[in-house]
Structure formats: structure tokens, C-alpha cells
Amino acid sequence: MLNVTALTKMDVSYLTENLPSDLAGRVNLQTFQTAEEAGPALENTEVLITTGKFDEAWLPLLPKLRWVQSLSAGVDKLPLQELGERQVTVTNMSGVHAIQMSEYALSVMLGWVRHTKAFNDSQRDKVWNHKLITGELHGQTLGIIGTGSIGTEVARKAKAFDMRVLGYSRSGSLKPNFDEIRTGDSGLESLLRESDFVLLLVPGTKETVRLLSARQFAMMKQSAYLINMARGSVVDEADLIQALQNGTIAGAALDVFEQEPLPAASLLWEMEQVTITPHISGDTPQYVERSAEIVYPNLFRFLANEPLLNLVDLRLGY
């Protein structure tokens, strides 16, 4: 019997309630919200299912741990070095965010060109503001930094609006629905210079820390709009605030921040040209159900000693 523990405050009852019959007699799947609640169950846990957050104090409690299945796509908050030293396999949820996060990206772009905030303010103030000129996504250039499953889905939906879609990736390999894929320093610079919208979707790693700072903002169009759905660490927040204050770029939609929750003292809260959401672009009522499409096959694979889906390279961090 394979001992599997889900340790998360997320409601993952779907995983236990819908465990395939072929797994039911081979897997002992228990769910707990805290390590204290799990207690002795951790001593025999071979597989840990958890969110992207991981308390290092758990490691000594898990002497038999062989595999961590993250319920998040990002694994930057897991103790990857320590897990690697213990030869623990890590897999993530890459692929389950494409629908909801692509819809988020399109929603904030449409909100920007259609001046949703301004019209909401007019409605609140009972002002008939018919002089405000709205724009279009049609014909504009979207630059997507990170061309994985989410970026590819955003590109597909953006083409429905007749947008030109540029991508940036380390490999530079062409992906469906992108007009061009750029790579290298020169590729990133050209994407930033040409894009009306810049969308960040890269993982949080040492290589992506402050990928965009003052130098990169200066390359962008003054009319450009930044969307960060990656990690707060990917953007130098102080430089972004200055770029917004100075009109170096026009606006931003931010779902992730260097410090979360975003401190009340942050100037970003007061900026009319900024849309702030509390790290929810990946949320959906179907999240755990979609996660099961990776968790269940991976349990079968683990039992059969086959390669797991969404295997994380612990050296690269994704």
C-alpha cells in the first residue's frame, strides 16, 4: 500500500472522493490541513501532495518521503536543494492553469483598451461620459515572455482578436499561434520595443529575478501595458513604480508582487493606471478537478515505476 498524504489548507476532498477504483486498493490517500493534524501519518508518508508552499520543518517528519506532487505550477517556495539532496522527486501542476489564466490576461487587456475603470467611475458618479474614446485589441502586438501552456493558450485566444503575437523563450522554438518566437538578450529587447502589451509568464528562478527593471521599461513603448502573472520577483517593483509615475509605460495589471499581501503603504494601490488582484489569476472552481488529471495518472506511473508527468528539474527550478 502506497501511503500518500495531502497536506494543504486547500479543499482537496475531490481527490479522495473520486479516487479511481484501480488505485483505491493500492493507495492510502489521507488529507490534512496542518502537519500537527497529520501527526504520525507523516512518518509513513511516501508521497506528499501539497501547494507551492512548503515548511522546511516538515522534512524531518517525513523520513520515507520519495515524491512531492505540488498543486501549484510554481515550485520556487519548495526547499528544492534539500529535496534534491534526499533524492526526492518533485512534480508540478503545469498545464492546469491555461484556461483561467488566459482568460485573466484577455480580460485585463480588454479592460484597458475599453476603459472599464473609467466607465465604472462614471457609473458610480452618475456621469454620462460619452467623450471617452475607447480602443481595440485588433492589430495590436502582444509580447508573451514565457511560451508554455499558458502562453500558448493566451496566444490562441489573442489571435481571435486579430492581434500580432510575439513570444520569448530560452529555446526559441516555434509554438502554435505565435507569429514569431524571440530568444536571447536581443530577442527580449526587440519584443519589448515592439509590443503594445507585455505579458510575463516565466517561472520564479534565479535567472528570472528582476528580469524587467528600469533598463527594460525604458525600451518599451510609452503606450505599453504590462501584465505580470508570473512571480513578483520577475519585476523590480520600485523601478516599475517609477516607470509608471514618469509615464515611461502607460499602465499595468499585477496579480503577483514582491511581497504578498501587497503592503498598504505601496504606491501601486493609488495608481489609476494599475489594476491589482491578489494572486488569483490561476483560481477556478475546477482547479482540484483539473489537478486530478495529473495526480491520478502520476500515482499510476509511480506505482508502475514509470516516468512521472511534469517532472521538475531541481537544478533549474521548473
Active site residues: 231, 260, 279
Angle of helix 116-125 relative to helix 98-113, nearest 10 degrees, comes to: 60
Which of these, 27, 26, 45, lies nearest to 88 by C-alpha position?
45
What's 132's DSSP letter? P
Contacts of 90 (CB under 8 A, 6+ apart): 67, 68, 70, 75, 78, 80, 83, 311, 312, 314
Q: How far apart are CA 102 and CA 70, in angstroms?
A: 21
Q: In the structure grid, which three cell numbers stand for residue 97, read together?
A: 492553469
DSSP SS3 for 6: strand
Under a CB-based contact definition with an 8 Å cutoff, are residues 296 and 303 in contact?
no
Under a CB-based contact definition with an 8 Å cutoff, are residues 314 and 88 in contact?
no
How many angstroms from the chain centroid is the CA of residue 194?
Answer: 24
Under a CB-based contact definition with an 8 Å cutoff, are residues 16 and 29 in contact?
yes
Under a CB-based contact definition with an 8 Å cutoff, are residues 264 and 237 in contact?
no
- The H or E element spanning position 232 is none
